[in-house]
Amino acid sequence: MGYRFDDLKAACQADWRAYIEHDFVRRVGAGTLAEDAFRHYLQQDYLFLLHFARAYALAAYKSRTLDELRQAHEGLKAILDVELGLHIDYCRTWGIDEDDLATLPEARATLAYTRYVLDAGSRGDLLDLHVALAPCLVGYGEVANWLESQEFTLRGEANPFEAWIAMYASPDFQAAMRAEIDWLDTRLADVSPSRFQELTTLFRDATRLEIDFWQMGLDRAF
């Protein structure tokens, strides 16, 4: 008893490091990622965001209190009203227009990851869903922090991926990540060892699916 979010990471440390320090991430940091790999990633990430919005809608459905319902609603609104718009604008700067996004075939890695999260939430409760979503929210904040600590990272205009790094390193994003970790710390404090094992499986699987998502970008895979 008495678990915390850090215990989930510790329980699958090798996968977590492979996710945070993936070659895709290193090349973004160094500014050396092939542009068409990044474009492929951005296009699939649009589809990812649509399903992520559905996951927040599922969180609303799974809520047991008014606070939980409001939290889910805020998450859904943040994606629909802010993040999707930013993503569409950002895609345009990479030469991808909204019509391209609307007609995009979904890559297997996108399908696998997004439907896995939705299934985890449908089958389980709100904590299962949040744990399956945690590698997404917490991982990207950690990726930005890790890149900022690495010597090979190129910051400023010299790096074509500067805006992407800056978004996840921003105080707003870091605060959202912190709030999610705090929520998970509170919930994990009173789960049993066997429940923690179940949650670890969800967290590890979602982390592995994030690794596949980076790899899909590198390989330009569908």
Ligand X SMILES: Cc1ncc(C[n+]2csc(CCO)c2C)c(N)n1
Q: Which of 45, 106, 148, 185 binds ligand X (CB under 6 A)?
A: 45
Residue span binding ligand X (CB under 6 A) among the ranges 2-10, 45-53, 60-68, 121-129 = 45-53
Determine if 19 is a binding residue for ligand X (CB under 6 A): no
Nearest approach, Cβ of residue 147 and ligand X (Å): 14
In the block, tokens 């391209």 appear at 100
Taking the least distance from each CB to ligand X, the nearer of 1 and 179 is 179
Q: % helix / strand / coil in the chain, to the nearest 5?
A: 80, 0, 20
Determine if 78 is a binding residue for ligand X (CB under 6 A): yes
Q: Give CA–CA dist 56/114, Å, rounded.
A: 12
Question: In angstroms, how far is CA 199 from the centroid of its own chain?
Answer: 17
Determine if 136 is a binding residue for ligand X (CB under 6 A): yes
At position 76, the amino acid (one-letter code) is L
Nearest to 12 by CA among 174, 113, 138, 107: 138
Q: Count the neighbouring beta carbons within 10 Å of the beta carbon of residue 99.
A: 8
Binders of ligand X among 139-158, rule CB under 6 A?
Answer: 140
Taking the least distance from each CB to ligand X, the nearer of 48 and 203 is 48
At position 82, the amino acid (one-letter code) is V
Query: Quick one: DSSP state of residue 107?
Result: P
Residue span binding ligand X (CB under 6 A) among the ranges 11-19, 75-83, 89-97, 195-203 = 75-83
Catalytically active residues, by annotation: 136, 210
Taking the least distance from each CB to ligand X, the nearer of 75 and 121 is 75
For the chain, first and last CA: distance in Å? 42
Q: Which of 79, 107, 144, 199 binds ligand X (CB under 6 A)?
A: 79
Determine if 52 is a binding residue for ligand X (CB under 6 A): yes
The helix (H) or strand (E) run that includes residue 117 is: helix 108-123
Residues of this chain that interact with ligand X (CB under 6 A) are 45, 48-49, 52, 75, 78-79, 83, 136-137, 140, 210, 213
